C-alpha cells in the first residue's frame, strides 16, 4: 500500500464513526501563519513510526471543503520551504490533491526519518516533537534519549539497568528460580549454567567476565525493583478508595518484585480488593470483575507503557463504582478498534517475553478474551480513554439494565458486534437480548439499542435490503 492509498484509508478511519485525529494524520482547515508550529508538526511526523500526513480541507469538526488552486499552491510552497530550511536537516515531503467524498483535499506526506529525533534548526536536541493522542507535543528529555538510543538500534529492553557485576551478583539481584518455574525447566546445578540460560532470554549480558542486567531482566525478575535506580517509578501501584472519588484513600501499595515474579500475586491482590466477601458455611470472595479481564488489561498496561515518560507508573485504582487501569503513553491503535486490530507495542521484546513466559495470552487475543468474559458476567462495557501521555481503561461492576444510560448500552452493543464478527458471526435482536439478559418480550428494547448504535455509526446492517427488522443482522462499521 503506497502512502496515498494509506492516507485515504486513514482519513476515512479518522472521520468515522466518531471524528478524531490520529497520530499518523492531522486535519487542517487552513495554513497557519506560525512557521515554528508548522515546523513542529513536520518534526513530529518525521519522528513518528511510519511518518504521517497533514490533510488540508478538513475542519475541526471533521467536515470537509474544497481547496482552491491558489490555496494548494501556497500551502505546498510554504511547507516545502519549512521542510527544507527550518529543520536540522532537509526533510523530503510529498503532496497530492485527491478526491474524498466529492471534495478536493490536499495531502502532505512526511516520511519517518532514520536519523531521529528530527530537531528544529537552531534549537538543541531536546526541542523535538512527537505525535501523541492525535496531537503534536514536545518530547520529554527521557523520550528524546529513548528515541536516540532506539534509532541507533538499542531498544529500552536491551539497555543495562545494572552493570559491572559478577555472575554471582546476577543471581542475587534476579529471582532466577521464578524464571525457571515459568519456562517449565529445572534449575541448573551451576551458576554458569543458570546465568547462560538467563542470557539466552536477554535478561543479562556478559563480556570478558563482566556482566550486566538488562532493563528487560530487571523489569521482569527483580527481587526488589529498588535495587535498580534507573527503573525508579516503574513499579505497579495499586490504590483503593472508600468511595467514588479519590478524596478518601484506604491504602496505596507499591509493587516490589519484577513484573513476571509478582504478576500472579498482583492479580490475586486486585481480585481480593474488588470482590465481595460472602459469609456462609465457608468464607469466600465473590468476584466483582472477571479475573481474565483484569489479567489481560493489567498485562496490556505493563506491556504498552511508554518508558520515555516518567512520573506515570502503571496504576490500578479501585473505586466503589469502577476499576481504573492507567499506563503511560497514548494508545498506538484507535481506541475504537482495540478488538479487531493487531496489537502494536512500544516494547516488542517485553511483550514477546511475557507471552513466552505465559503471562500474556496469544498475541492479539487479550482484549477479545477480556471483553468476552465481561459479557459472560453481564457487566457494562469497559471504557477506553486516551490522553496525550496516557491510556486508561475503566471496568464497571454489575448494573441493572434500567440504570444503564444510553451510551453504556451503545458501547456494549458495539463491542458485542466486534466480538461476534471476530468469531465469524453477526449480531441480531436475539444476541443483543442475550447480551443484556433481556427476555423475548423485550425485543423492542433490543431493537432500540441496535438502532441507537446504528445511528452513531458504530454498526451497520449486513444487508440493508432486508425488510424484516426481526431477521436483520449487523456488523461493526469498519468491516
Domain extents in the chain: 3-147, 160-230, 237-395, 404-476
Look at strands 315-318 and 237-241 and give their pairing: parallel
Residue 361 has pLDDT above 70, yes or no: no
Residue 60 has pLDDT above 80, yes or no: yes
State the pLDDT confidence band at 363, using cuts at 50, 70 and 90. Answer: low
State the pLDDT confidence band at 279, using cuts at 50, 70 and 90. Answer: low
Q: Which fold has domain 3-147?
A: 3.30.950
**Is CATH 3.30.565.60 correct for 237-395?**
yes
Surface-to-core class of residue 440, CB atoms within 10 Å of its CB (0-12 exposed, 13-18 middle, 19+ buried):
exposed
Taking residues 461-468, report their average pLDDT.
86
pLDDT averaged over every residue in the chain: 93
Distance CA 202, CA 218 (A): 11
Distance CA 465, CA 473 (A): 11
Phi first, then psi: give them for residue 302, nearest 5 degrees.
-65, -50
Q: Of 96-110, 227-241, 371-385, 463-477, which gets the smallest average pLDDT?
A: 463-477
- Alpha helices in 86-210, H assignment, sequence order: 141-151, 167-173, 176-183, 191-200
| Residues contacting residue 289 through CB under 8 Å, at least 6 positions apart | 271, 274, 323, 374, 377, 379, 395, 397
Residue with cell 502503571: 314
CATH classification code of 404-476: 1.10.10.10
Q: Which residues pair with 160 in a beta bridge?
A: 214
pTM: 0.87
- Report whether 47 contacts 128 (CB < 8 A): yes
- Structure confidence by residue, pLDDT tens digits, 13-51: 999 888 988 999 999 999 999 999 999 999 999 999 999
Q: Which residues pair with 239 in a beta bridge?
A: 252, 317
What is the CB neighbour count within 10 angstroms for residue 469?
A: 14
| pLDDT computed for residue 281 by the predictor | 61
What is the CB neighbour count within 10 angstroms for residue 89?
A: 11
Q: Of 46-55, 131-140, 143-152, 205-214, which gets the smallest average pLDDT?
A: 143-152
Distance CA 179, CA 176 (A): 5
Look at strands 210-214 and 204-207 and give their pairing: antiparallel
Q: Of 100-114, 353-367, 454-468, which gets the smallest average pLDDT?
A: 353-367
State the pLDDT confidence band at 470, using cuts at 50, 70 and 90. Answer: confident
Give the CA distances from residue 254 to residues 225, 298, 360, in Å, rounded to whole numbers and listed in that order.
10, 15, 22
Residue of 418, 416, 444 lying closest to 431 (CA atoms): 416
- Structure confidence by residue, pLDDT tens digits, 418-430: 999 999 999 999 9
CA 156 to chain centre: 18
State the pLDDT confidence band at 120, using cuts at 50, 70 and 90. Answer: very high
- Report whether 413 contacts 427 (CB < 8 A): yes
Taking residues 260-288, report their average pLDDT.
87
Amino acid at each position: 500500500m503506497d502512502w496515498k492509498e494509506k492516507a485515504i484509508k486513514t482519513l476515512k478511519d479518522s472521520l468515522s464513526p466518531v471524528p478524531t485525529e490520529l497520530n499518523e494524520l492531522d486535519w487542517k482547515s487552513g495554513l497557519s501563519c506560525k512557521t515554528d508550529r508548522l515546523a513542529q508538526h513536520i518534526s513530529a511526523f518525521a519522528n513518528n513510526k511510519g511518518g504521517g500526513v497533514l490533510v488540508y480541507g478538513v475542519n475541526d469538526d471533521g467536515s470537509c471543503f474544497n481547496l482552491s488552486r491558489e490555496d494548494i499552491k501556497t500551502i505546498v510552497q510554504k511547507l516545502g520551504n519549512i521542510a527544507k530550511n527550518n529543520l536540522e536537516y532537509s526533510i523530503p515531503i510529498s503532496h497530492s490533491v485527491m478526491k474524498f467524498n466529492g471534495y478536493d483535499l490536499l495531502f502532505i506526506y512526511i516520511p519517518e526519518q532514520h536519523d531521529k529525533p528530527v530537531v528544529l534548526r537552531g534549537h538543541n536536541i531536546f526541542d523535538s516533537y512527537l505525535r501523541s493522542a492525535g496531537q503534536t507535543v514536545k518530547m520529554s528529555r527521557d523520550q528524546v534519549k529513548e528515541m536516540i538510543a532506539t534509532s541507533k538500534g538499542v531498544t529500552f529492553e536491551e539497555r543495562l539497568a545494572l552493570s559491572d557485576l559478577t555472575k554471582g551478583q546476577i543471581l542475587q539481584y534476579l529471582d532466577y528460580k521464578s524464571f525457571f518455574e515459568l519456562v517449565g525447566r529445572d534449575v541448573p546445578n551451576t551458576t554458569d549454567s543458570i546465568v547462560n540460560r538467563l542470557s539466552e532470554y536477554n535478561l543479562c549480558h556478559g563480556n570478558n567476565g563482566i556482566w550486566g542486567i538488562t532493563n528487560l531482566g530487571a523489569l521482569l525478575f527483580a527481587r526488589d525493583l529498588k535495587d535498580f535506580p534507573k527503573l525508579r517509578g516503574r513499579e505497579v501501584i495499586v490504590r483503593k478508595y472508600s468511595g467514588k472519588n479519590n478524596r478518601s484513600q484506604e491504602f496505596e501499595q507499591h509493587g516490589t518484585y519484577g513484573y513476571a515474579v509478582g504478576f500472579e500475586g498482583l492479580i490475586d491482590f486486585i481480585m481480593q480488593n474488588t470482590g465481595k466477601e460472602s459469609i456462609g458455611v465457608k468464607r469466600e470472595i465473590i468476584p466483582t470483575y472477571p479475573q481474565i479481564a483484569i489479567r489481560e488489561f493489567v498485562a496490556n498496561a505493563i506491556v504498552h507503557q511508554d518508558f520515555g515518560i516518567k512520573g506515570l507508573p502503571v496504576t490500578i485504582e479501585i473505586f466503589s463504582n469502577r476499576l481504573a487501569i492507567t499506563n503511560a503513553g497514548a494508545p498506538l491503535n484507535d481506541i475504537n478498534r482495540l478488538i479487531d486490530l493487531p496489537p502494536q507495542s512500544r516494547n516488542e521484546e517485553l511483550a514477546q517475553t511475557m507471552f513466552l513466559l505465559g503471562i500474556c495470552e496469544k498475541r492479539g487475543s487479550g482484549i477479545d478474551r477480556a471483553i468476552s468474559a465481561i459479557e459472560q458476567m453481564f457487566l457494562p462495557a469497559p471504557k477506553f480513554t486516551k490522553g496525550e501521555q496516557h491510556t486508561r481503561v475503566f471496568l464497571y461492576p454489575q448494573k441493572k439494565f434500567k440504570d444503564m444510560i444510553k451510551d453504556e448500552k451503545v458501547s456494549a452493543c458495539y463491542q458485542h458486534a466486534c466480538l461476534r464478527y471476530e468469531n465469524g458471526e453477526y449480531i441480531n435482536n436475539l444476541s443483543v437480548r442475550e447480551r443484556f439478559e433481556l427476555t423475548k418480550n423485550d425485543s423492542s428494547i433490543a431493537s432500540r439499542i441496535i438502532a441507537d448504535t446504528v445511528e452513531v455509526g458504530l454498526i451497520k446492517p449486513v444487508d440493508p435490503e432486508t425488510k424484516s427488522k426481526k431477521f436483520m443482522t449487523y456488523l461493526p462499521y469498519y468491516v
